[in-house]
A and B are shown apart, each in its own frame.
Chain A
Amino acid sequence: MHAPIFEFNRHREDIEREVIGRVVDAFASHAGPDDPTRGFQFVLNDAAFHEIDRLERSRGNTERLADWQRLARRIGRMTPDELHDETRRRAEWYVRDVVGHFDRRVYRFASSVLPVGLGALFNTTDLARGLSSMRDLSSRIRVEGPLEQLRELARMGTLVVVPTHSSNLDSIVLGWSLLHADLPPCTYGAGKNLFGNPLVGYFMRNLGAYRVDRRLRHVLYKDVLKCYSQVLIERGYHSLFFPGGTRGRSGAVEQKLKLGLMGSALAAFSERLQRGDTRPIFLVPVTINYPLVLEAETLIEDHLKAKGQARYIIEDDEFSRLGRIAQFAVQVMGLQTTMVIRYGTPLDVFGNPVGLDGRSLGPGGHPIDPARYLMRDGEPVDDPARDAAYTRQTGLAVAEAYLSETVILPTQFVGWLLFERERRAAPHLDLFALLRTTSGDRHDLTELCDDGDRLRAKLVAMAAKGRLCLDPSLQGSPIDEVLDDAVRAFGMYHLRSAVEREADALVVRDPKLLYFYGNRLSAWEDELRPVIARGAGGAR
């Protein structure tokens, strides 16, 4: 499918100029009648303060530290023109650092080798079987949802794909799913640390991904990033970003979303309207459902650490070790259960569902005009506070879609079932005590099957109401086979299996992993808890 990103390089300099111009103009507009330098002084002071603090603490680039220190000393003495030029110079630097690059040759190469490469990665037993590997891959990664509709919407407007995020493999498998579903490639912002990864860094640098340095917290950088993503959407580049911001550490379905980039979609829609461009923008929530998560051990450790925030950017997890990725891929290929990438119902930028013809629909299914949300007394009105409130509402709609489009897999089902039985057995223990003390607990298989049947029945009823999705492997098989499937899966990849089978019982081996996988069901636990039998639990 043709995509605007194929033409990216031709427009790159123009895009850069537009972003720099807009960012600098926005600060210029902050000038007060008595103080024409206010906007520029603030932004430079803010950037210098944050950068000096960061570089001093990290003992990073001494040259850059000295540069920021020199600037910080000069700001108070700079003339308005000097302040303007300095802000512009710094903005230019950041824009060039952020902006991606698209090379069609690399894309052609990637689109021919990615399926085969991923297929080979996921089936190292026979590297020569490139094409058949691809077939095997599509039998191991299921892509589902309203794909035909999305293809049509991609032709009539701009897609902003917003997936859940649980692994650094997400962008790769999602890229494959776009290709596999004949959807256009998207530009997306990736953590700058990933560009250093030998496996994907080269492709990311040449396939339109833009660099997001999450260490930079100052207004100038954030505005550059936000403006760049907005300009891309405005210009019709299909985009992708992870509203969770970073990989979910706990294993739960993300519900707290970062709204900055979601606001870019709305701002782009508004800007387009003001220019008379009526092409629609569609948000596409996607859930990526892994039976096993590559970085599960590191992520859950991080979640449980009191100082989790300190390791916001993990640079030394399983994703940085090629051997672990290969091992993961081989093991996932051997699973009975498939990985599921589920595209949800597309939404407009206000969170309303979109019909087959691209029109926004109200709750009763009536077509509505999204442009009306930006009007007052028949005229478009600029109102940032209103748009911020709209964005919060859209965030809630995406979070709700994440729940209804989540596909529950056997590993998550068994993780929740066993960990809940542990909670039941020791209600007086807090989470950390449970995690410390439950390794080795035995769960009688007959009791477990009874609880599992009830839990499954409840989930089936919830799935029938559209509140979540259940993987077919969880629905159709006898419950003891579901348990076996999950136990086998747990045993295949992780350094230590979460649970093992011993005669007529399942034995907990790694409670943290059980907790991690079970957390996928935590959003519904108030309803699920009552189905577990009273007195259920592991025996020690």
Chain B
Amino acid sequence: MSQWIIVGDGAWGRALSRRLVLNGHDALLVGERRIGNRVPKDVEHTIELAPALGRGERVILAVPADRLEGLLVDAAPHLRGDHRIATGIRGLTPGTHLRPSEAVARHTPVRQLAVLAGAADARALRKKTPAALVVGTAFPAFADELQAALVAPSLRIYTNRDPIGTELASILAMVLGVALGIGRTLGVGPATEATALTRAVAEIDRVVCGLGGAPKTAYGLAGLGLLAELAFDPEARSALAGRALAAGDLEQAGEATEIRAAARALAARCARHRLRAPMLTVIDALFDGHVDAATAMKGLMARSARAE
């Protein structure tokens, strides 16, 4: 059995460490241990990052995107070539607009990287409801390690060789899920929601391919899988943010800070690469209050006709 170091003791980090312990691994959880965050049984907890990184070579990062770069700069002197890092983070770094695994490669010497994404959230892992995750990595042996470490009767782990696409699809799905929440609140009906869902997948595919990912990744667990989860779950954060935006409640929508920040960073990155991402642009503008939901929808529908 192996030693795993999970950095970030939020709900996701705790759920992953519990899953690892249930599979017989040693899990060392690194985080601030905020009040109310109960450390799962048999999971060791520490607030000291540097010594923790010295205790093993398998690392999962589960911290918010806005804290990632600072953490990596602190961690870099303690990381080695044999460390392997999986990121389970939805968001781009603020300012530099890097994908989480891209940020790891930029700030640390670690080369063996993987991305953990999909339609299983902390709640699904905790309640052991059947769900699935995908590991995207160019390093098959690391994919096998992650797959074996996390798999369970209630959790299927798939693998692919497209970390870039997997990571982007997951972040894009979280942001574009807002559109599904808006549609439901405006009461536009199933035809409109279905249109939003399929166009969102097409947009994810376009952006993923434009930024170096592989075609089809958008249609896997990280893209379509997560979008469908958001469509089926009216209480998901993306859906709630969409509901608030549809009602013009910018204050409440702004509470979904990671979604708002991801929308901003993705829109900037798409603009830099001249990628067409109309839904993303509209959601970014909605968060900024530059447009209201009804006008935004009219704007999207009024765009010039094109092939699918």
- Among A375, A377, A393, the residue within 8 A (CB) of B111 is A393
User: Which of B73-81, B228-236, B295-303 interfaces with chain A?
Assistant: B73-81
B82 touches A364 (CB 8 A): no
Q: Given the complex of chains A and B, what is the CA–CA distance between A171 and B113 in angstroms?
A: 37
Residues of chain A with a CB closer than 8 A to B81's CB? 350, 368-375
Q: Given the complex of chains A and B, what is the CA–CA distance between A385 and B82 in angstroms?
A: 15
Residues of chain B with a CB closer than 8 A to A389's CB? 111-112, 138-139
Q: Given the complex of chains A and B, what is the CA–CA distance between A368 and B77 in angstroms?
A: 9
Q: Is there a chain B Cβ closer than 8 Å to A168's Cβ?
A: no
Number of interface residues of B (CB under 8 A): 20
Query: Per-residue 0/1 for A344-358: is the Cβ within 8 Å of any B Cβ (1 yes, 0 no)?
Result: 000000101000000
A369 touches B80 (CB 8 A): yes
**For A371, A376, A526, which residue has the most chain B Cβ atoms within 10 angstroms?**
A376
Q: Is there a chain A Cβ closer than 8 Å to B156's Cβ?
A: no
- Among A350, A363, A371, A393, the residue within 8 A (CB) of B108 is A363
A373 touches B57 (CB 8 A): no
Q: Is there a chain A Cβ closer than 8 Å to B140's Cβ?
A: yes
Q: Is there a chain B Cβ closer than 8 Å to A366's Cβ?
A: yes
B140 touches A363 (CB 8 A): no
B141 touches A386 (CB 8 A): yes
- Among B82, B106, B138, B141, the residue within 8 A (CB) of A373 is B82
Q: Is there a chain B Cβ closer than 8 Å to A392's Cβ?
A: yes
A364 touches B141 (CB 8 A): no
B76 touches A366 (CB 8 A): yes
A108 vs chain B, min Cβ distance (A): 42
Number of interface residues of A (CB under 8 A): 25
Q: Is there a chain A Cβ closer than 8 Å to B45's Cβ?
A: no
Q: Is there a chain B Cβ closer than 8 Å to A362's Cβ?
A: yes
Query: Per-residue 0/1 for B82-109: is the Cβ within 8 Å of any A Cβ (1 yes, 0 no)?
Result: 1000000000000000000000011111
Q: Is there a chain B Cβ closer than 8 Å to A316's Cβ?
A: no
Given contacts A372-B82, A373-B81, A376-B82, contact A364 B76 (CB under 8 A): yes
- Residues facing A in B252-277 (CB within 8 A) are 274
Given contacts A383-B141, A385-B141, A392-B138, contact A362 B109 (CB under 8 A): yes
Residues of chain B with a CB closer than 8 A to A383's CB? 141
Given contacts A350-B111, A372-B82, A386-B141, contact A377 B57 (CB under 8 A): yes
Q: Is there a chain B Cβ closer than 8 Å to A390's Cβ?
A: yes
Q: Given the complex of chains A and B, what is the CA–CA distance between A393 and B76 in angstroms?
A: 19
A363 touches B111 (CB 8 A): no
A373 touches B111 (CB 8 A): yes
Q: Given the complex of chains A and B, what is the CA–CA distance between A140 and B111 in angstroms?
A: 41
- Residues facing B in A483-527 (CB within 8 A) are 526
A–B complex contacts, Cβ < 8 Å, 20 sampled: A352-B109, A362-B76, A363-B109, A364-B73, A364-B76, A366-B109, A369-B80, A372-B81, A373-B82, A373-B111, A376-B57, A376-B82, A376-B141, A383-B141, A385-B139, A385-B140, A386-B112, A389-B111, A389-B112, A526-B274
B residues contacting A by CB (< 8 A) are 57, 73, 76-77, 79-82, 105-109, 111-112, 138-141, 274
| Sample of 13 further A-B pairs with CB below 8 A, known A364-B73, A376-B57 | A363-B109, A364-B77, A366-B77, A366-B109, A368-B81, A368-B109, A369-B80, A373-B111, A375-B81, A377-B57, A383-B141, A385-B139, A386-B140
A residues contacting B by CB (< 8 A) are 350, 352, 360, 362-364, 366, 368-377, 383, 385-386, 389-390, 392-393, 526
Leading 7 A-B pairs by shortest Cβ distance: A372-B81, A373-B81, A362-B109, A389-B138, A375-B82, A372-B82, A364-B76
